[in-house]
Structure 1
């Protein structure tokens, strides 16, 4: 009996380590040529330099390259993604591979008491496609009021009416249950309905109907309600921004992609003109020159780091690290993230929803032959949005993610470490269930008021920055999370959900002195079990010139520096109320459009010549 219980766990363990090992092998095999490729160490001139090939940078570089008269350099710190990253079901293992930066936050005062060191793990995508090669493929745009709020803050051109065309431009939606007028059909990014479903997604929808909510297209006319989320996938395989925008770079001979090249800083002369970047590749420092513009798309962590290393940031902080100040801006402030609390693991009443049996050869056959079956699922079977009692009714601040697996499902191999759970929490809550089929529901705070920051650890570009999201520093967030957990409880207590799931009755080891389901008990869960949804934004805030905290203007140009823009999640003034990959892709589309329009309308910038006095002066100024 003992062997029968734990043999599946052993097989899952071997399968997970096998996948990670193959990812490493694939990583180096796939990237051997690009890593060994020689790059001219002499300074080369391009019209545009894009730093970072992630969810926004891949879009920006691809769109700029569509104009064959411009030369574009794309500089990426990682390599090309392995084909294995395209299997949706293994997304939880990818942060353990070379495709992730694996940052960690500072210890949190509230919300991570059951995490190792009270820290939050922040894996971000490192490679062409960025976080779109390791996320959970969810296509969620946020709410129309998110973008109208951006515009109301003084960001002209960023209302929902303004950004909707750019969402639609990227999108090739093949789904059936959608509000047609809000979706694109001709874009590069395939968005589709999941090809495999257990009985759980319909049970979740039925639970919403039982509670009085509607089944909605959350990216359509009305966001409040229950849905089965769409995925950025094509025929069951991940559709990252690499797959959608950069896989066929041979179409653009004017686009040069350099991998394994970590940008050290942007070069800025005494006239406050950005004219190039310095990057390190295989131990060698190389300079590239931009005749027109440099676009930073390195993400909400690396972009502020690069700006500060370049002399753009808070004066006191830069002077502390003996960095010459080029522009005194609030770089690194306004950091925001979505946080969730997982409800006690739910046990399936049947095994039809099991997602993690490596012995199911038919599932492998279905996936690799037909692009269907369990391995085409990301495991997120349902999603819901609702407003808390003091929130606008059509602008929700609560989100539920319903998953057909839990932290226990992989025997503590990957998901536990993704959350950063300490040993006691794992042993007492999840390990006893690791031989069962489990599910979970995540109560998620999507309009947080807490703000954090990012700082340089040192002036050494190889050092990771200091990250402090300051979760729950605004007490309002705790109150909304309490309501989110109560909403999760209501959903689980419906007849529709009880047909398929039952609550695990073990009390949380840190909260045993409170009455289960009481408000005090839920507050204890928030204190101990909160985790990041991996959506950092806002660290290079977009705002009008009257906003002294703004780093970029509504055209995404860095204040005080000519020829330098930012196009990634860091420019968001306020985080959208949903998963952020689709909004970041939209930002890339809109940024490329604005850049092309600017230069089409007669920018007077002239290409630099390496032997020109102007260029020599720039180099002299930098030194």
Structure 2
């Protein structure tokens, strides 16, 4: 055996030991996972055997900034043409075994794979978070947020995309974007093999989570008893209940990097990938208003790359607008106020939508051994998962998420086939990891964990949580720069619940979840509401409407779904930044290709749409440059 192969085998075995230790001992797993992340052993192998040090003033046809779902899909598709040179620049590193193991998703938000953004203190939400700051996770790694999220695959509603087209974006109707969802997908969904809404030959794996608890079976049955149909929420109708569809492959995370980049990175010399490279500015010729390159930092040294054809921003909903503004494209008052010369006045960051969740309610049951407590993972499961590749162990659970129910509320004035609320069934809570993972990643106060969840962790009583998420919020936030430091953070103010109506939608969702718990299937497992008063809500009668309104503002939780900071639409619309071809208004050779272009909050988790946007953008770019 060659020395490199021996090293890889040794490090793989060590990784297996570390991942088991991390899952089984909550008090040390943040340290271990961050070490795996920063000096990740798989990452060390990749960097040692395939170093890619940038050469200053290098030229490429296309420069793609950011390797999330859209950026990875775009770079992979453009580099299919061997005559094109593509540089993919990523601020983070490479996945390791901790990223590939779905059950530890909650811990990844504490590692250097997450940018670590927090909102400005919120007045009307996130009262249960330290300093009222909502945690806003975004991936800083090859694969972007797809490498740290909960892997839920949900495309959205037909009406979402038809609304994009109706708002002045030709080519973005449902019938026109569905082929791009299909192009990306490799579905292994039992019972849907013949569905025209799924493809089986794309790069991105979509499968049902193979590990299922008795709790989720009872939830799905009870949802049907309450009147919800069984559905494929990525099919003809979203309304109903379904076991969750996930971006996993044989029980392991299948990120944008795993699906699009890793299979081709050694086969395409025209695709150059630069990790740990922080882009600081897009170079724009002020006379011609044309982008011609980027500046970035690698190992504390500044480099410049030049683009013969285009610079493409795929840095995500926070970083893409930040880079536009650092480069002189954005709101005139903001840029002039911090001393950045204005090249093009556009409403960058002026709008930001997000799906706000209520973390709960939580229900206890009479079952045993069903809740996903990290300390319940056994050595046998670890060996079966890591060595035998068993996709049905507890380690393949996507952070405990097992089912989704999408439903309408009576207060909605949207068409009947357009859901308002999603219930996310999680076989656990903040107690699942004894407060060592999700609590810290989400910035929950100690008081929340201590008063509501600590006893559940100590007794390991079976329980589950229904996260209630609103699809179409009226509240609008924003993003701006506080200074011209390219290595700093943008200021993020989602302004959750500025529109009071958003609270009422979540209240309706909580009431819907309580009705489901009354169904016979739930009663057979003894499901009942956890009677722990939310700290700060003691002045309200427990489980009254006002109590739940208080709980909604306290247990506020986001799921990485921010959109619209580089909103797509015609140039005549003063709220938009890019046109329907994703070209920045008034600037040549510069596009934005990521979820920041989504004009309205979608009826979906946004990761699936990001893949679609990358696939569609690749075709638009190839058509523009007559490369097809």
Tell me what 1:613 maps to. none
Tell me what 1:141 maps to. 155
1:201 and 2:216 are equivalent in the alignment = yes
**How does 1:365-444 map onto structure 2 within 5 Å?**
365-368=383-386, 369-372=388-391, 373-378=393-398, 379-391=400-412, 392-435=415-458, 436=460, 437-444=462-469
Q: Which moved more, 1:15-24 or 1:222-231?
A: 15-24
Whether the 8 Å CA contact 1:12–1:358 is kept in 2: the answer is no
**How does 1:459-498 map onto structure 2 within 5 Å?**
459-498=484-523
Residues 34 and 596 of structure 1: is their aligned pair in 2 closer, same or farther, counting only changes over 3 Å? farther
Query: TM-score normalised to the size of structure 1?
Result: 0.92
Deviation at 1:34, TM superposition (A): 8.1
Unmatched segments (≥5 aa) in structure 1: 1-7, 603-623
C-alpha distance in 1 between matches for 2:539 and 2:98: 45
Deviation at 1:222, TM superposition (A): 0.6
Tell me what 1:312 maps to. 329
Deviation at 1:276, TM superposition (A): 0.5
C-alpha distance in 2 between matches for 1:565 and 1:359: 45
Whether the 8 Å CA contact 1:408–1:438 is kept in 2: the answer is no
SS of the residue 1:103 aligns to: coil
C-alpha distance in 1 between matches for 2:565 and 2:356: 17
Deviations 1:482-530 (A, max 9, x none): 1111111112222212333332222223222212221111111112111
Tell me what 1:573 maps to. 599
**Which of 171, 177, 184 is residue 157 of structure 1 equivalent to?**
171
Whether the 8 Å CA contact 1:78–1:126 is kept in 2: the answer is yes
Deviations 1:268-327 (A, max 9, x none): 112101111111111111111111111100000000000000000011111111111111
Tell me what 1:364 maps to. 382
Tell me what 1:346 maps to. 363
**Which of 106, 123, 128 is residue 92 of structure 1 equivalent to?**
106
Whether the 8 Å CA contact 1:237–1:371 is kept in 2: the answer is no
SS of the residue 2:245 aligns to: coil
Whether the 8 Å CA contact 1:155–1:554 is kept in 2: the answer is yes
C-alpha distance in 1 between matches for 2:45 and 2:564: 33
**How does 1:3-402 map onto structure 2 within 5 Å?**
11-14=25-28, 17-26=31-40, 29-30=44-45, 32-33=47-48, 37-41=52-56, 43-178=57-192, 180-248=195-263, 249-269=265-285, 270-355=287-372, 356-358=374-376, 360-368=378-386, 369-372=388-391, 373-378=393-398, 379-391=400-412, 392-402=415-425
Residues 247 and 451 of structure 1: is their aligned pair in 2 closer, same or farther, counting only changes over 3 Å? same
C-alpha distance in 2 between matches for 1:24 and 1:490: 46
Residues 50 and 16 of structure 1: is their aligned pair in 2 closer, same or farther, counting only changes over 3 Å? closer
C-alpha distance in 2 between matches for 1:16 and 1:46: 39
Residues 169 and 99 of structure 1: is their aligned pair in 2 closer, same or farther, counting only changes over 3 Å? same
1:531 and 2:557 are equivalent in the alignment = yes
SS of the residue 2:60 aligns to: strand
Q: Which moved more, 1:257-266 or 1:505-514?
A: 505-514
Residues 193 and 301 of structure 1: is their aligned pair in 2 closer, same or farther, counting only changes over 3 Å? same
C-alpha distance in 2 between matches for 1:47 and 1:124: 28
Deviations 1:592-619 (A, max 9, x none): 11001111179xxxxxxxxxxxxxxxxx
Query: TM-score normalised to the size of structure 2?
Result: 0.92
**Which of 554, 572, 585 is residue 546 of structure 1 equivalent to?**
572
Tell me what 1:448 maps to. 473
SS of the residue 1:180 aligns to: coil
Deviation at 1:31, TM superposition (A): 5.8
C-alpha distance in 2 between matches for 1:65 and 1:9: 38
C-alpha distance in 2 between matches for 1:464 and 1:267: 20
Q: Which moved more, 1:212-221 or 1:530-539?
A: 530-539
C-alpha distance in 2 between matches for 1:486 and 1:433: 23
Tell me what 1:614 maps to. none
C-alpha distance in 1 between matches for 2:260 and 2:104: 23
Deviations 1:244-268 (A, max 9, x none): 0000312211111111111111111
SS of the residue 1:93 aligns to: helix
Deviations 1:388-418 (A, max 9, x none): 2132211011000000110111111111112
C-alpha distance in 2 between matches for 1:229 and 1:533: 15
Whether the 8 Å CA contact 1:228–1:383 is kept in 2: the answer is yes
C-alpha distance in 2 between matches for 1:557 and 1:68: 24
SS of the residue 1:490 aligns to: helix
C-alpha distance in 2 between matches for 1:138 and 1:359: 22
Residues 359 and 90 of structure 1: is their aligned pair in 2 closer, same or farther, counting only changes over 3 Å? closer
Residues 11 and 305 of structure 1: is their aligned pair in 2 closer, same or farther, counting only changes over 3 Å? closer
Residues 314 and 15 of structure 1: is their aligned pair in 2 closer, same or farther, counting only changes over 3 Å? closer
Residues 294 and 21 of structure 1: is their aligned pair in 2 closer, same or farther, counting only changes over 3 Å? closer
C-alpha distance in 1 between matches for 2:289 and 2:533: 59
Deviations 1:565-614 (A, max 9, x none): 00001000012111110001100000111001111179xxxxxxxxxxxx
